Amino acid sequence: MPTITLDDSSRLSLPAELLDRLGLKPGSRLTAELDGEGRLLLTPVPEKPTSPPVSLHDSINRKNLETPLQFIKGVGPKLAAALARKGVHSAEDALYLLPNRYEDRRELRRVAQLRPGETSVFSGEVLSADLAATKGGKRFFEVVVGDGSGSIVFKWFHYNPAFMKKSWKKGRRGIFTGEVSQFGYQREIHHPEVEWLGDGEELAEVMARDPVNFGRIVPVYPLTEGVHQKTMRKIMKEAVEQFAPCVESLLPEQLAARHSLVPLPRAFRDAHLPESDADLESLNRGMTPAHRTLVFDELFFLELGLALKKQGVTLAPGISFSVTHKYTKPLLHLLPFALTGAQRRVLSEIKADMISPHPMHRLVQGDVGSGKTLVALMAALVAVENGCQVAIMAPTEILAEQHYLNIHRWCEELGVRVTLLTASLKGKAKAAVLAEIAAGEAQIVIGTHAVIQEKVEFHRLGLGIIDEQHRFGVAQRGLLKKKGETPDILVMTATPIPRTLAMTVYGDLSLSVIDELPPGRTPVETRICYESRRPQVYSLIREEIGKGRQAYVIYPLVEESEKSELKAATQMAEHLEKDIFPDLRLGVLHGRMRPEEKEAVMRSFKGGEIDILVATTVIEVGIDVPNATIMVVEHAERFGLSQLHQLRGRVGRGSGRSRCLLLTNGRLSEEGEKRLRVMEATGDGFRIAEADLEIRGPGDFLGTRQAGLPDFRVANILRDGSVLEEARREAFALVEQDPRLSLPEHARLRAELRRRWGGRLELAGIA
């Protein structure tokens, strides 16, 4: 039997034959621990792959792409400062600022051919130019231009009169560009672009003189104040010609061929400076091979990072929980209802993860009222049964308090200690709570960001639960993980997230969906009501209460502020109690009340002692009163779609017909009207989420501007869903084949991944 000795430096010396049998090299690192029977267990520590030497060619290209914008020909400090406001600081940033759309300037049209709704380029002569006024007295500058085939009107509503009169003289000829509108029988262009012809100059000469803006398909860029389109095109042409050749195509050749991707330098060139035979419609839809290549490249590196994060989780040793049913079975007996099939299925998935020797990393997605909190509590009790602590993190104090009120009620009966930790806790009270957590006396800790602060030390954290994850970033998930030795992580959201977005934001998590509502839930009838219908709204409330039901009235603010005309909860509660419903019992609930006050009001409402609960969005989640059948949302246009959907989820929890009335003063923005119409049309959380994503775009939808993920520069999640799925498949397959990207052929991929993700890849052992 081989002998193992410990040298003076406390290092183990293993005989050569043992090293061979273990497949180890001299100098390998091992971790050692004793098992239950006193035997020494040795585990090899995986070697970190060394970074590849960077070639001189790569270094020069990288340095070129980092060239500050002001050193690109034609830019300078002033223009660079203006473009920095759009996040364009370097040559590489300029390459990734793709055109919004493209205009066909390959040939000039006749005025008679101009069609409303199209952006056209044409030439003509100024027939008249002067100040004019609308019937309401609003002054504007008006020009009529013609070319013999017809005439068209130009209008400016913001202008310098002296400059306009000097520029737009009768008889002057030019090339004009603008979007044509139709008002009655008259075609108009507002604020057109112009390129004047010199005396006796021919059209062909002007177009040849300015090949960037004429005689081709022209890119139209997003602008910032102080930068004109013509200037932008000139800068971008310079940037593309000088720096696109410096971009390296790093995706494996076979992968690029499988997806018909073009080399990145060519993709940038074709996206910024399309060939004259390019398809205008494909360009404008972002569907050319060039666009597709740039999108695939960006999404591939995003998904590669997420695949490595997920791989890091599955490789890491975690806690292998056992399910003893010490608390979970008694809780099921305490509940006045049975779990739904979907809840039971998701619980089985969670338990399987918790039993496994690797850390759980799971997202539970479920619509309003689907019973996520109960599923989370059951998971928490499994951890507590195993002598571990649980941290539940919510994005706001109100949400944290509501979880506390719901959870501690059940846990008290089970003999499980639940503690609330929020930022508003101060002094001795806070010190006492921190001591309880550190000693392990607090078995379930519920709180806000306060839970992941440095001062918070857990005795043995086994499970972290994050609620409403879309308000937190990947970074916060990592911080919570560091509070224990690779605890399990469970993420919950009541905001249904379209699949493509879930794949980007939660690509490193396993997904469970609670897709079934508890029995007895009824669809909620939703109506938009304008201010003029307020009396009918009040009579509907009275009618429901006459049937023995209860009502919610929701306001956006707690108290009236001087600047705002919004009706505030406290003042309106007084008005309703005194002037509208003096014979009914009203209660008020808002975020500035103490937890015990809120709990008392909620208990009274649930117990039927309050007819109308006047509240702010504090009731967005957590209150379950099946007898409440009507909700009125004041200033409904001020709420976001997911918030309105959450609020509406407070009614329709029983078998009675339920209604949600969205009150608005009628002065709606286009976006505000879209939101309310979606609410009126559907109760399906996923449909609402998709509409919300369409209206607001991915960054705002997430609320975190992609916190913890590389920013999207060219991809559009709504448009590029199919490309995302392809990129994800390829990235995950590559990581399965080479879990740490340690193969020599993946060395440059690895370096690029680290560059794009910055320090956000620590979970994958890549940073």
Q: The domain containing residue 348 runs over which residues?
A: 328-514
Q: Is residue 753 part of a domain?
A: no
Q: Are residues 344 and 448 in the same domain?
A: yes
C-alpha to C-alpha distance for 525 and 673, rounded to whole angstroms: 18
Alpha helices in 53-212 (DSSP H): 56-65, 76-84, 91-96, 161-167, 203-209
Q: Which amino acid is at 389?
A: Q
How many Cα neighbours within 13 Å face the side chain of 224? 12
Question: Which band of pLDDT confidence, cut at 50, 70 and 90, is reported for residue 512?
Answer: confident
Q: Are residues 376 and 494 in the same domain?
A: yes
Q: Is residue 660 part of a domain?
A: yes
Question: Which band of pLDDT confidence, cut at 50, 70 and 90, is reported for residue 313?
Answer: low
Q: Are residues 367 and 243 in the same domain?
A: no
Residue 148 has pLDDT above 80, yes or no: yes
pLDDT, tens digit (0-9, with 9 covering 90-100), for 340-377 = 899 999 999 999 999 998 889 898 988 777 788 899 99
Most confidently modeled of 232-236, 484-488, 756-760? 232-236
CATH number at residue 622: 3.40.50.300
Give the residue from 682, 702, 725 where a domain finishes.
682
pLDDT, tens digit (0-9, with 9 covering 90-100), for 456-470 = 999 999 999 998 655
Residue 140 has pLDDT above 80, yes or no: yes
| Higher per-residue confidence, 55 vs 420 | 420
Q: Is residue 315 part of a domain?
A: no
Q: Is residue 708 part of a domain?
A: no
Any idea which of 132-136, 476-480, 546-550, 588-592 has the lowest mean pLDDT? Answer: 476-480
Residue with tokens 């008002």: 183
Question: Which band of pLDDT confidence, cut at 50, 70 and 90, is reported for residue 641?
Answer: confident
Residue with tokens 């049309």: 681
DSSP state, residue 109: B
pLDDT, tens digit (0-9, with 9 covering 90-100), for 267-287 = 999 999 999 889 999 999 999
Q: Are residues 82 and 127 in the same domain?
A: no
| Averaged pLDDT for residues 76-92 | 87
Share of the chain above pLDDT 70, in %: 84
Residue 40 has pLDDT above 60, yes or no: yes
194: part of which helix (H) or strand (E)?
A: strand 193-196
Q: Which residues are CB-contacts of 674 (< 8 A; sequence separation ≥ 6)?
A: 691, 695
C-alpha to C-alpha distance for 422 and 431, rounded to whole angstroms: 12
pLDDT of residue 764: 42
Q: Is residue 303 part of a domain?
A: no
* CA 144 to each of CA 128, 137, 154, 183, 199: distance values in angstroms, whole numbers, following the listed order: 5, 20, 6, 15, 20
Residue 44 has pLDDT above 70, yes or no: no
CATH number at residue 28: 2.10.260.10
Q: Is residue 641 part of a domain?
A: yes
pLDDT of residue 704: 41
Q: Are residues 623 and 669 in the same domain?
A: yes
Q: Are residues 115 and 40 in the same domain?
A: no
Q: Are residues 478 and 335 in the same domain?
A: yes
How many Cα neighbours within 13 Å face the side chain of 88? 27
Integer-rounded Cα radius of gyration of the chain:
32
CA dihedral 405, 410, 413, 418 (to 10 degrees): -50
Q: Are residues 91 and 118 in the same domain?
A: no
Q: Are residues 627 and 498 in the same domain?
A: no
| Higher per-residue confidence, 340 vs 696 | 340
pLDDT of residue 190: 92
Structural domain count, the chain: 5
Residue 708 has pLDDT above 60, yes or no: no
Q: Are residues 658 and 563 in the same domain?
A: yes
Residue 93 has pLDDT above 50, yes or no: yes
Q: Which residues are CB-contacts of 4 (< 8 A; sequence separation ≥ 6)?
A: 12, 13, 14, 15, 18
Give burial (CB, 10 Å; 0-12/13-18/19+) of 566: middle
Q: Which tokens go with 500?
A: 């493509």
Residue 532 has pLDDT above 50, yes or no: yes
CATH number at residue 162: 2.40.50.140
C-alpha to C-alpha distance for 368 and 278, rounded to whole angstroms: 48
pLDDT of residue 697: 63
Q: Are residues 450 and 501 in the same domain?
A: yes
How many Cα neighbours within 13 Å face the side chain of 374? 21
Q: Is residue 449 part of a domain?
A: yes
Q: Is residue 474 part of a domain?
A: yes
Q: Are residues 492 and 509 in the same domain?
A: yes
pLDDT, tens digit (0-9, with 9 covering 90-100), for 226-250 = 788 888 999 999 999 999 999 999 9
pLDDT of residue 243: 94
pLDDT, tens digit (0-9, with 9 covering 90-100), for 186-223 = 899 999 988 888 888 888 887 777 888 888 899 998 87
The strands making up 418-421's β-sheet, listed across from edge to edge, are 418-421, 444-447, 389-393, 461-467, 488-493, 361-366, 510-514
C-alpha to C-alpha distance for 433 and 429, rounded to whole angstroms: 6
Most confidently modeled of 25-34, 551-560, 678-687? 678-687
